[in-house]
Amino acid sequence: MAIPPIPPIGSVVPNAAATAAPETAAPGFGDALRNGLQQVSSLEQSADTVAETLASGGNAEIHDLMTATSKAQLSVDLLVQVRNRAVEAYQEIMRLQV
């Protein structure tokens, strides 16, 4: 029966986890904020498009315009509240004494 030799103490065996490809980072607050801004912008553009269509006599109804503008207004209000909370959190962190 053959016994394998013991590797030298100074040698390093590569770890399978260390040689694996690095995972992509999870989306953070910045990504969520960017996506929110893009959604707000698209809702505003949609409301503008419906308003232009209605003003030019196109195939749009007044309730379509009211719905689109209400969605855009609500999204802007939510965005402003998120911004206010982020600013408050930043100010609270800056007030912490280290």
Closest CA to 70 of 51, 90, 94, 93: 51
Tell me: the pLDDT tens digits for 32-81? 889 989 999 999 999 999 999 999 988 989 999 999 999 999 999 999 99
The CA distance from 55 to 43, in Å, is 18
* Contact between residue 40 and residue 75 where contact means Cβ atoms under 8 Å apart: yes
88, part of any domain: yes
- Residue 25: pLDDT band with limits 50, 70, 90: confident
Determine contact, residues 52/46, Cβ cutoff 8 Å: no
> Is residue 83 included in any domain, yes or no?
yes
What is the count of structural domains for the chain? Answer: 1
4 occurs within a structural domain:
no
Domain range spanning residue 72? 35-95
> Is 15 contained in some domain?
no
Residue 91 lies inside a defined structural domain of this protein: yes
* Rounded Cα gap, residues 11 and 29, in angstroms: 42
Rounded CA separation 42/81 (Å): 19
Residue 5 lies in a domain: no
Q: Is residue 87 part of a domain?
A: yes
